[in-house]
A and B are shown apart, each in its own frame.
Chain A
């Protein structure tokens, strides 16, 4: 029980910091001073002090969705190792649970958006559903490649087992997995160039549209869940790319948390030098990610593991 609590509290405490670092990086690129590093915490605390406003057309689904999205992200956090913290929970086939949890959260956010009866939110819901269904295929292809490489079907073992020994032999494949997973990461967290988290220009929004009617506590839950999702998926990205297992706990800790900071700065840099893509180009990008993962799979099948 203790490792689970430890794991969850680490995610809960540190995840908004990642958004703060991204914000600072973007401000640096724009030549501004930018909001303080702890601004995402202040935002969440501010929202927790406010009351909720519910439209009379909404039902319990609208109130349940933010809580479910927060809970699913917390459960998924337990499945991945973070530096010297081993994954507290792991069992055969948990990679499907991992993807499924995000599917569940998305499903509830989508029907909550439809629950409001606003046609505008329905549009956002439809976009979110479309793009994430393309992204999920890529995620699963990446998981299949990793499972083939490690001959394991448990997420944490898959990441720990053979990645280190795979790098000399299958470095190119892991690079392809990393590249395609990075695009999934951007899509799942609705970052630039897929979606702009800061935009409120109505016709271009994807994720932000869906949560437009949430307020107070509910919005805080959603923002918090978004921060944690970035943290957990980013942690998985680092676990794929950095073969830290087998190192001393100290080195693991340094490589993981250092990598996290580099990832946040990198995300900020990507967002500063790219513009958001036009909506009709996004499926193309995700299909590109799919083809990358497919090539990785083909290479493994040809080379044999």
Chain B
């Protein structure tokens, strides 16, 4: 019951992130989503392993990464996504359809591990889809970073299924990769901004010799 409530909240936050155009709010929502996500291992596989995972996730995804992203938008002084490739309403409808697809696909999946809740896999897939959608439908580099992080949240959720089987070191390695990735992207956002006076990734398609 509690796990499902958390999963529904996670999807809900994903939808709100998708329909939002303020970068600050998006980052806060992402932090909230990561916080709820970090408590799910405790509900699924209570134990020392889960506690370590939860603490590390909270430190990295709830505190450090949002702080880094806030630093990036402060330095690049961008507030909102002004011209998305696809309008917000259409993105939301698309997101709805993708979530439908995610639910359909995960109903067909035959997983080797015992599922704690049959909502877990659909939620994970939905998050991956929402992240993808954010990545392809927005121009601002920072929104794309958020899309990437939401997608990673989905993968994290999926990996929780295998929590007992994977060594802690692997999980930590993945989290470190994500963190370094975000760090690099935050710096790149800043550089794009300095170079072109806007953080739009459209500028990166121009060729120069």
Chain A residues within CB distance 8 Å of chain B: 168, 171-173, 175-176, 179, 283-285, 287-288, 290-292, 294-295, 298-299, 301-303
Contact = CB atoms under 8 A, between A and B. Distances in A.
Interface of B is mostly: helix
Given A172-B5, A172-B7, A288-B19, A295 B99 contact: yes
B89 A283 contact: yes
A167 to B, nearest CB: 9
26 contacts: A172-B8, A283-B89, A284-B19, A285-B19, A287-B19, A287-B89, A287-B93, A288-B19, A288-B92, A291-B15, A291-B96, A291-B99, A294-B100, A295-B8, A295-B12, A295-B15, A295-B96, A298-B99, A298-B103, A299-B8, A299-B119, A299-B122, A302-B103, A302-B106, A302-B118, A303-B119
A284 B88 contact: yes
Given A168-B1, A295-B11, A287 B92 contact: yes
B10 to A, nearest CB: 11
Nearest to A179: B12
Contacts of B89: 283-284, 287
Contacts of B15: 288, 291-292, 295
Contact of A175 (B8, B16, B103): B8
A294 B96 contact: yes
A284 B106 CA distance: 28
Nearest to A286: B89
Contacts, number: 67
A292 B12 contact: yes
Interface of B: 1, 4-5, 7-8, 11-12, 15-16, 19, 88-89, 92-93, 95-96, 99-100, 103, 106-107, 118-119, 122, 126
A302 B119 CA distance: 8
Contacts of A175: 5, 8
* Minimum-distance CB pairs A-B, first 8: A172-B8, A291-B96, A298-B103, A287-B92, A172-B4, A284-B89, A284-B88, A294-B96
B19 A302 contact: no
Which of A172, A284, A285 neighbours the largest number of chain B CB atoms within 10 Å of its CB?
A172
A216 B150 CA distance: 55
B103 to A, nearest CB: 4
Contacts of A284: 19, 88-89, 92
A303 B118 contact: yes
Nearest to B7: A172
Contacts of B4: 171-172
A171 B119 contact: no
B133 to A, nearest CB: 12
A187 to B, nearest CB: 15
Nearest to B15: A291
Contacts of B119: 172, 299, 302-303
Contacts of A176: 8, 12
Nearest to B6: A172
Given A288-B15, A290-B96, 13 more contacts: A171-B4, A172-B4, A283-B89, A287-B89, A287-B93, A288-B19, A292-B12, A295-B8, A295-B99, A299-B103, A302-B106, A302-B107, A302-B118
